[in-house]
Amino acid sequence: MPELPEVETVRRGLHKLIIGRSIASAISDNPGSFPNAQAQIDAFLIGSRVTDVRRRAKVLMIDLSTDYSLVVHLKMTGQLVFRGETDFGAGHPTDSLIGELPDRSTHVTITFTDGTHLFFNDQRKFGWMKLLPTAEVGDLPFMRRVGPEPLEDDFTLRQFIDRFSRRPRTSIKAALLDQTVIAGVGNIYADESLWGAHIHPKRLVQTITDDEFAALYREVREVMNLSIEKGGSTAKNYVNAEGKRGSYMDFARVFRREGQECPRCGTTIVKFKAAGRGTHICPICQQL
DNA sequence: CACTTGACCTGTCCGC
DNA sequence: TGCGGACAGGTCAAGT
């Protein structure tokens, strides 16, 4: 699922819902989803209190009073859903994609001392949750290599261009998806921002002009900010911390809209493969 | 070294 | 209806 806007939406939800709660128990049915040893879980998770919920790139960090953090990557189909005691059972809102929890894709269940729950669901099991000392999160190989946060106020066009210049001979779409160039862009927002900037995804980075970089910089930020405003994109099974869908797909201009009209020029949107991913463009607005 | 492809899993959809 | 294959929001390791 989740790219930067979806992970940020989950972060905001969890920030509101779980800070201050203390963890009573944690159970997992799949070692790949939560690989920590039981002794470590008992020592640093059970009995701890949630102090903060942060995000870096597409990674969530749930900070604990033990100076450990639960580091979570949702990958393609991960969900982190909070359920209060009174939500148990029937009566879920219609904008929810999921019913009673746990269900068959629940791989970790965390129970707080007040009887509320946090469920880690993941249909494809690519995602993971790891408990490690908060001070060591930055030492993870991914964290060391990941690029700057594109939505930060101090992230400049100059930085944007400099980061892409590291990969001159790859396609602009592959570079956008490369988390070491800039953080947080995935397949949806790569297609959306390239359309906004009138750039064909297969253009090589070294052929992109400064004006085009300026347009792309603006689009990446606008598109992802708009998506956060809309609660992210639910293309398939993304849900926020309350189990509800995001509505950005209603505003998407090309992503998963093959066969429909380009909102700018009316040309039929086409889909093909680029950078190994399904890719959507307007063949008139975006030319090689 | 730089870049691309396959693998990790499960579910769904589409064509035969 | 059943079955095989392609495809799905991400990232790494292995391959070229």
Nucleotide in closest CA–C1' contact with A204: B3
Domain count within chain A: 2
Q: What is the pLDDT of residue A95?
A: 60
CATH code (residue A218): 1.10.8.50
Does A136 share its domain with A188? no
A288 lies in some domain: no
Catalytic site residue from A11, A55, A56, A58: A58
Active site residue A58: yes
The values of phi and psi at residue A159, to 5°, are -60, -45
How many angstroms separate the CA atoms of A145 and A45, rounded?
27
Residues of chain A with pLDDT > 90, as a percent, come to 93
**Average confidence score pLDDT of chain A:** 94
Q: Hey, what amino acid is at A207?
A: T
A107 close to A28: Cβ distance less than 8 angstroms: yes
Three-state DSSP at A53 gives strand
Q: Tens digit of pLDDT for each residue in A126-180?
A: 999 999 999 999 999 999 999 999 999 999 999 999 999 999 999 999 999 999 9
Q: What is the pLDDT of residue A16?
A: 97
A196 lies in some domain: yes
Spatial CA neighbour of A269 closest among A215, A202, A192, A216: A192
Say if residue A85's pLDDT is above 80: no
Rounded to the nearest 5 degrees, what angle is found at the Cα of A144, between the Cα atoms of A157 and A186?
Answer: 55
Spatial CA neighbour of A58 closest among A48, A72, A43, A47: A72
Does A135 share its domain with A9? yes
Closest CA to C6 C1' — which residue?
A: A278
Say if residue A97's pLDDT is above 80: no
Residue ranges making up the domain that contains A231? 157-281
CA distances from A284 to A195, A205, A223, A270 (A): 10, 20, 21, 10
Q: What is the pLDDT of residue A1?
A: 60
Q: Tens digit of pLDDT for each residue in A3-42?
A: 999 999 999 999 999 999 999 999 999 999 999 999 999 9
Q: Tens digit of pLDDT for each residue in A207-249?
A: 999 999 999 999 999 999 999 999 999 998 899 999 999 999 9
- Is pTM beyond 0.75? Reply is yes
Active site residue A2: yes
